[in-house]
Amino acid sequence: VNCRQAAEELSRAQDEPAGGFWLRVHLAGCRDCRRFRHQLAVLADASLPAPEDGVGDERLSDSARSRIAAALAETPDES
Amino acid sequence: MSRGVEPTERAAADPSGWVERHGDYLYRFAVAAVRHREAAEDLVQDALLAAWRARDVFAGDASERTWLTAILKRKVVDWLRRRVVERDFAAESDSFADGLFDRRGHWKRRPAAWGELDEPVARDEFRAAVAGCLGHLPERLHAAFVLRYLDERPGGEVCSELGLTPANLWVMLHRARLRLAACLTRTWLGGERS
CA distance A24 to chain B (A): 17
Q: Does B39 touch chain A (CB under 8 A)?
A: no
Put simply, the chain A residues between 12 and 71 with a CB less than 8 A from any chain B CB are: 12, 14-16, 31-33, 35-36, 38-40, 42-48, 50-52, 54-61, 64-65, 67-69, 71
What count of CB pairs under 8 Å joins A to B? 167
The residue with greater pLDDT, B165 or A54, is B165
Residues 6+ apart with CB under 8 A from B48: A68, A71, A72, B15, B18, B19, B26, B68
**Residues B88-118 pLDDT 10s:** 666 667 889 889 999 999 999 999 999 888 8
Please tell me which of the candidates A31, A55, A76 has its beta carbon nearest to residue B127. A55
Least confident of A55-59, B27-31, B60-64, B78-82: A55-59
Residue B26 has pLDDT above 50, yes or no: yes
Q: Within 13 A of B49's CA, how many CA atoms are on the CB side?
A: 17
The answer to whether the beta carbons of residues B192 and A52 sit under 8 Å apart is: no
Contact assignment for A52 to B181 by CB distance below 8 Å: no
Confidence of residue B5 (pLDDT cuts 50, 70, 90): very low
Contact assignment for A11 to B174 by CB distance below 8 Å: yes
Contact assignment for B105 to A5 by CB distance below 8 Å: yes
* CA nearest neighbour of B79 among B23, B142, B28: B142
Rounded Cα–Cα distance for residues B67 and A50 (Å): 16
The answer to whether the beta carbons of residues A19 and A9 sit under 8 Å apart is: yes
Contact assignment for B32 to A56 by CB distance below 8 Å: yes
Residue B25 has pLDDT above 70, yes or no: yes
pLDDT tens-digit profile, chain A (79 residues): 899 999 999 998 987 778 889 999 999 999 999 999 999 999 988 776 544 455 567 789 999 999 998 888 887 665 4
Rounded Cα–Cα distance for residues B115 and B124 (Å): 14
Confidence of residue B9 (pLDDT cuts 50, 70, 90): very low
Residue B34 has pLDDT above 80, yes or no: yes
What is the pLDDT at residue B131?
84
CA angle B6, B7, B8 (to 5 degrees): 90
Rounded Cα–Cα distance for residues B21 and B65 (Å): 9
Rounded Cα–Cα distance for residues B52 and B46 (Å): 10
Confidence of residue B184 (pLDDT cuts 50, 70, 90): very high
Rg (CA), chain A: 23
Contact assignment for A39 to B114 by CB distance below 8 Å: yes
